[in-house]
Each structure stands twice: as structure tokens, then as C-alpha cells.
Structure 1
Amino acid sequence: MTRIALWVLIGCLTAAVYASEQIPEHDLSADQIVEKNIAARGGLDAWRNIQTMVWVGHVDSANTPAEEMPFALALKRPNKTRFEVTVLSHRAVRVFNGKQGWKVSPSATGGGEARPYTMDELSSAHDEQVIDGLLIDHQAKGVDVTLDGIDKVDGHDAYRLGVKLPSGVTRHVWVDAQSFLDVKYDRVARGPRGPVTVEVKYGDYRSVDGLQIPFTIESGAAAAGKGDKLMIDKVTLNPPLDDGMFTKPGSQGRRNSVSVNADASSPALSRPGP
């Protein structure tokens, strides 16, 4: 065999090996992809054991007056959320108790008045699966999942899953064909000029007590430029969260507020708060 023929053969074999490592398994069903996704994220039983979760970090955004804004996100099953972000020393709050939602925007004089969610915001909040996402226990949640195809996401093959929610809304979730972790999902939001597709990308996965959790979450309109990025500094699993934290901000009585102190060993609760 000549030297040239030998190099051609080596090149072909190398290309074949490289291709076998990159080409995803085309014969996987939607259920098999979901099963692999759950295993990659830490397992079904482990996620079912999570009843509360707190994320602390900062927002990196080109669309706000401050480049970096500290935030805290508290989550509690079945579908309760409290999100706080500090903008130029003023705190904005969004709270959803599973049925109703309220928001407080910062003002020059401090905290503003709590306003109820709009109908669109309520619909979106009802559709979210705040602790474990759309794929885990999707049948019990009444979520239908289908395999729609394979796309490139940041240069890597990813399965595109069609996800139909009980409300009738359809979204897409992209699962990396190698790691089987979620890398992107989309949803439709109402913009000033009509419906807008919002893309959310997940990155920098890290192990937290055996669960794989993304520490970078970037979101923005699909057709727009740079979006907002959540940079997560600390994730705490199953901290004690009182239901009062998820009531209307500013209502009578003492209410909990999630601290944005990322150095604490556990999420601190301060009283009183908006």
C-alpha cells in the first residue's frame, strides 16, 4: 500500500470514528429521550424529593440601567414562585401563589404598590413547572411530548421535542444528543406588536447534591439581539419556605423575603418585606 493510500485510509477511518461519536441516535423515541434526560439530570426519585428550591445570583442584562443586578428566586411545589431583583438599590418583586400573582416595580421613592398579574402573565405562570420542568413526570402533569426532529444548538445536535401543555399551549424543548441535558426551550409571549417567541438557553450545568442544574440561563426574543442572562451563584435544595412568602406583597402581617446574600450557607429570610 502506498504512503498516500495509507494516509487516505487513516483519514477515512478517523472521519468515520468522529462521525460515529457525533451522530445522535436517530431511532430513539420521545419517551426514551425523556427517560435519558431524567437520568442525566439526576434521576426521577431525586427530583420528586425536592419540595422547595432557592436560587441566588445576579442578572447580566444590556436592557436595564444596571449591568449586574442581584436576584433571589424561591420555588415551592406545586407551583409557587417569588422572584426578587435589586435595581439601583430598589427591589422589584414578582410573586405567584399557584392561583394569583402580583408584581411590585421599584420607584424613585422605594417600593411601589403591588399590582395583580395580567391575564397573559397568569396564563404563563399556570403553565410553568417551577421545580422540575416540563419533562419530568410529564404524563402525570398532563403534558404530551413528541419528537419533532433534530437541530443544531450552539453547534451541537439536539433533539427537538414538541411539548403540549394541558392549557393547549405548545412549546419546544431541545435536549442535547450527547449529554441528554436540556439546552433550550421556547415559549410565545405577548409583545407590544403581537406574539413574540422567547428562547431560553441553559448552560454551565453543575451537580448540586446529585442533581444537574444549569448555573447560566439566557433568555430573549428569538429575533432580537443579546438577551438577559441569569448567573446563578448558589442553589439550595429543600430549604424551609413559609407559604406567607408567596402571598400578596405589602399585605398586612409579617411576610418573608428571600435574602440575596449569596455567601450565606442557606437562604436567609428577612422580615418584614414587600
Structure 2
Amino acid sequence: MQHSKNLFKLLAFLIIVGITNAVSAQTVDDVIAKHIKAMGGEKLGKLQSMKISAEMDIMNMKVPITTTIVQNKGFRSESTVQGMTVVQAVNGNAGWTINPMAGNTKATALPEDAVKSLANETDLTGLYNYKEKGYKVTLDGEEELAGAKVYKVTMTLPSGVRRINYISKDTFYILKIVAQTSMNGQEIMSENVQSDFRAVDGIYYPFTSEVTTSAMPGTKMGLKITALEVNPKIDPKIFEMPQ
């Protein structure tokens, strides 16, 4: 009789766990589906390239930045500081930089962890089709963020990078992203608060961001997009390392 009671308890526990997991999975997919719809729906599937012009406010300096991305293939950023242009680029699994501020006027290879970090930025569509991308997601409850109620959806990339997306329960835009990555053997935490969402060709983007990172404690970086092009033609040679 005792054996039967124990078996019943075990089965009841397994059923509860199974139901809980099923509800959790359904809920996170529901949140993501509403987020995708809010961002532009199936138009995200047609997003193949992007060119972003922005201005970063950092340490009382205005730094113009141009970023060019080809979905899952290439990333290139150019920022001009005190008349010197710093370039960082990734082409597949290889990356390089030109940094005259560090005395490097010729292209040099980026470290492996820097390449992995920038390669993650070649995904322009985030949570869209996350299963096909091999991303793992969990719904980790609800919170309040500056007066707004948000869902916490954690996304883990195949590279091991973990991003917590704070998704508005009202608009289903991502209002904040907290990312954890590894750089030079150290764990780096960054926080990106997003606002001023605008539609470009039917897809919504945050035109204003405020970024903080544990790599530069106490420093806030404000970023404002001045121009954004969707699916421009990009010459793939711009991602190749100059000889």
C-alpha cells in the first residue's frame, strides 16, 4: 500500500511538472509571438541587411558611428574620435580592426572572443525564428521597469552569450537588454535601455539607447540613430581584411 502511495505521489509530481513546463513554454512563445508582431511580423524574415548612422555621446564627446550589417555574414562599424577613424569588422568567423588611437594604422586581427562577440551582432532579427537559430529561451517572470510592466525573457545563444530581454506588456517592444559575455577571460555585463521606437519600411527600431557596461564602470553612453536604411545593397568586400 505504501509503495502504491509513493508511486501515486511520484506520478502526480511528474504530471504537475509536465503541465508547468508546457504552460511555461506556451507562455514564452506567446510573449515572443506578440513581440514579433509588434516589431513588424513576417517582414523581419525579409531583413537581409542594414546600415545605421548614429551619434554616440560619451565622456562629453559626440562620436559619429556608421554600422553596416549583412544578416549572419558581415559586420562593420566605423567611429570617428578626434579626427581618427576606428574600424572594427567581422567577416564570417574572422575579424579585424584598424585603430589609429592605439597606434595601429593598418588592419590587425581581432582576438577570438572579440570576433565571437561581434559575430553575434550579425543577427538582425533577434527572437524571430529563435528555434531555427538554435537559441534557448525562458520566461523568467515579470517586473516593473521605470513604471512599465515587463516580461523577462532570457535568450541564450549557441555561443554561450546570455541576453535578458525586458519586453513591455503594453507595446511588446524590448525596453531593456542585459547581456552577459566573455572578453579577455573576463565576464562582461552590459545594459542597453531602448526608447523612441520608429517604423522603417514596416519594421520598428529603437532610435535612442543608453548603454552601460562593467568594462567601463560609471560611464553612460547615449546613442541616437540619425539615419537607418533597411536592405541596402552592400558590397561584401567591405568586411574583408585589407592586406
**How does the TM-score come out when normalised to structure 1?**
0.73
The alpha carbon displacement at 1:190 in A equals 4.4
How big is the shift at 1:107?
A: 3.5
2:45 is the counterpart of 1:48: yes
Q: Is the 8 A contact 2:71 2:123 kept in 1?
A: yes
Return the match for 2:136 from 128, 137, 144: 144
Structure 1 residues 74 and 27 mapped into 2: Cα distance closer, same or farther (>3 Å)?
closer
Structure 1 residues 241 and 148, CA, compared in 2 at 3 Å: closer, same or farther? Answer: same
AA matched with 1:174: Y
Q: Aligned residues: percent identity? A: 28
* Residue equivalent to 1:195: 187
Q: 1:27 to 1:92 in 2, by over 3 A?
A: closer
2:180 and 2:162 map into 1 onto residues whose CA distance is 9
Contact 1:216 1:230 in 2 (8 A): yes
Q: Secondary structure at the match of 2:134?
A: coil
Give the gaps of 5 or more residues in structure 2. Answer: 1-23
2:121 corresponds to 1:128: yes
Would you say how many aligned residue pairs link Structure 1 and Structure 2?
219
> In structure 1, how many angstroms separate the alpha carbons of the residues matched to 2:229 and 2:35?
22
Deviation at 1:136, TM superposition (A): 0.8
* CA shift for structure 1 position 176: 0.9
How far is the alpha carbon of 1:101 from its aligned partner? 0.7
- Indicate how the Cα distance of structure 1 residues 170 and 190 shifts in structure 2: closer, same or farther if over 3 A, else same: closer
1:233-252 pair list within 5 angstroms = 233-248=226-241, 250-251=242-243
Q: Any conservation in 2 of the 1:79–1:128 contact (CA below 8 Å)?
A: no
More strand per residue: 1 or 2? 2
CA distance in structure 2 between the partners assigned to 1:190 and 1:144 by the alignment? 18
Over residues 43-89 of structure 1, what are the superposed CA-to-partner deviations in whole Å (9 max), with x where a residue is unaligned? 1x211112111001211112xxx610111100102231110011111
- Asked if the contact 1:59/1:70 (under 8 Å) is kept, the reply is yes
Tell me which amino acid in the other structure corresponds to 1:75. Answer: I
Structure 2 residue 210 is matched with structure 1 residue 218 = yes
Q: TM-score normalized by structure 2? A: 0.82
Structure 2 CA distance for aligned equivalents of residues 193 and 108 of structure 1: 21
Distance 2:113 2:233 in 1: 30
Shift in alpha-carbon separation, 1:41–1:148, aligned structure 2, 3 A:
same
Does the Cα contact within 8 Å between 1:200 and 1:217 map onto a contact in 2?
yes
Structure 1, unpaired ranges of 5+ = 1-25, 252-274
Deviation of residue 194 (structure 1)?
3.7
Deviation at 1:147, TM superposition (A): 0.3
Tell me which of 110, 131, 134 is aligned to 1:117.
110
TM alignment of 1:96-115, pairs within 5 A: 96-107=90-101, 112-115=105-108
CA RMSD, 1 decimal: 2.4
